[in-house]
């Protein structure tokens, strides 16, 4: 009983998805594989099997009802014929020709009805057995479908549970990975800021050293220029004293004072600019030469 049913189930399962869904070949093949994997195809096969067994049971019950009706009708006709024969037999001594013919026909009909009754009885028993078998197969197919649906629901619950835990684990991994990347980025930024601050500190220290050097150079240049001016004034006074005329002494004093004022102006400028300090040194050297 199981092997023909399994063969029909496999035949139905092979013709289910592609014809019912009417998908392209690639999608149809993918749908078949997915249906086989998750069990939808097997459930659909069991559903169609239950529908087929239900239809077979309905037809078997209909045939049993027809066989019962036929057997009951034949039994009734046989009872009527037997009553007529009994009535004729009671008046056998007073039969006429037509009653003899009637008795012969009733006897023949009773014999035929006896054969029909035996055949209808066999058909009735066969119909009842077929109805019982179809009912048993129908109940069995319903039981298989019920158990398959229970198993599929358990499988779905387990898949849902494991899928939920898997999603939670993936979310935890993503969160942990994001935190690690964030901390690494912040650590890299901190190192970069520390490096930049260190370089800026070194540059500021170098600039401060350069500024101190420039200030010291400017201060030394200022002292040197003041000494040169004093020596120039003393030389001018000596020259004036040694000059023969007052007019030449006056012109020399004016020239010395003018050169001293220009020199002081350049010295003040050199305090603000190291390049100007170099120029003042050059001018002092030139003035000394002259």
User: Can you give the CATH number for the domain in which 86 is found?
Assistant: 1.10.287
Number of structural domains found in the chain = 2
**What pLDDT is stored for residue 107 in this prediction?**
83
Query: Which domain-ending residue is among 106, 136, 166?
Result: 166
More confident residue, 177 or 276: 177
Range of the domain at 94: 2-166
Give the least confident one: 1-5, 19-23, 33-37. Answer: 1-5
Residue 218 and residue 117 in one domain: no
Q: Which of 80-89, 146-155, 161-170 has the lowest mean pLDDT?
A: 80-89
Q: Which of 114, 141, 166 finishes a domain?
A: 166
Q: Which of 166, 196, 215 is a domain's end point?
A: 166
Q: What is the dihedral of CA 233, 236, 240, 242, to 10 degrees?
A: 120
199: in domain: no
Segments in the chain forming alpha helices (H): 2-14, 17-21, 25-38, 40-90, 97-242, 246-270, 274-289
* Residue 264 and residue 128 share a domain: no
Indicate if the pLDDT at residue 3 is higher than 60.
Answer: no
218 and 158 housed in the same domain: no
Same-domain status, 29 and 128: yes
- 178 within domain boundaries: no
Q: Pick the range with the lowest mean pLDDT from 15-19, 63-67, 235-239, 249-253.
A: 15-19
Instruction: Please say if the pLDDT value at position 168 is more than 90.
Output: yes
What six digits make up the tokens of 52? 């087929």
The token pair that represents 258 in the structure block: 């003018």
| 174 domain residue, yes or no | no
């Amino acid at each position: 009983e199981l092997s023909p049913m399994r063969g029909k189930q496999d035949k139905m399962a092979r013709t289910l998805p592609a014809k019912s869904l009417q998908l392209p070949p690639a999608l149809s093949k993918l749908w078949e594989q997915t249906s086989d994997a998750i069990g939808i195809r097997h459930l659909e096969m069991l559903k169609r099997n239950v529908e087929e067994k239900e239809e077979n049971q309905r037809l078997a019950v209909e045939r049993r009802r027809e066989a019962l009706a036929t057997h009951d009708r034949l039994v009734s006709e046989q009872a009527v014929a037997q009553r007529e024969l009994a009535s004729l037999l009671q008046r056998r001594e007073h039969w006429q020709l037509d009653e003899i013919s009637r008795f012969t026909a009733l006897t023949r009909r009773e014999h035929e009805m006896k054969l029909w009754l035996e055949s209808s009885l066999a058909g009735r028993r066969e119909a009842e057995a077929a109805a019982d078998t179809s009912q048993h197969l129908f109940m069995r197919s319903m039981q298989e479908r019920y158990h398959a649906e229970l198993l599929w629901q358990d499988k779905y619950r387990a898949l849902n549970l494991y899928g939920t835990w898997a999603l939670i684990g993936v979310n935890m991994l993503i969160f942990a990975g994001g935190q690690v990347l964030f901390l690494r980025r912040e650590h890299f930024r901190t190192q970069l800021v520390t490096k930049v601050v260190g370089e800026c500190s070194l540059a500021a220290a170098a600039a401060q050293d350069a500024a101190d050097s420039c200030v010291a150079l400017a201060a030394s240049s200022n002292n040197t220029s003041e000494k040169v001016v004093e020596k120039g004034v003393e030389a001018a006074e000596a020259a004036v004293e040694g000059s023969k005329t007052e007019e030449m002494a006056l012109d020399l004093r004016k020239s010395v004072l003018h050169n001293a004022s220009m020199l002081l102006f350049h010295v003040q400028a050199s305090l603000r600019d190291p390049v100007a300090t170099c120029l003042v040194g050059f001018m002092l050297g030139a003035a000394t030469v002259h």
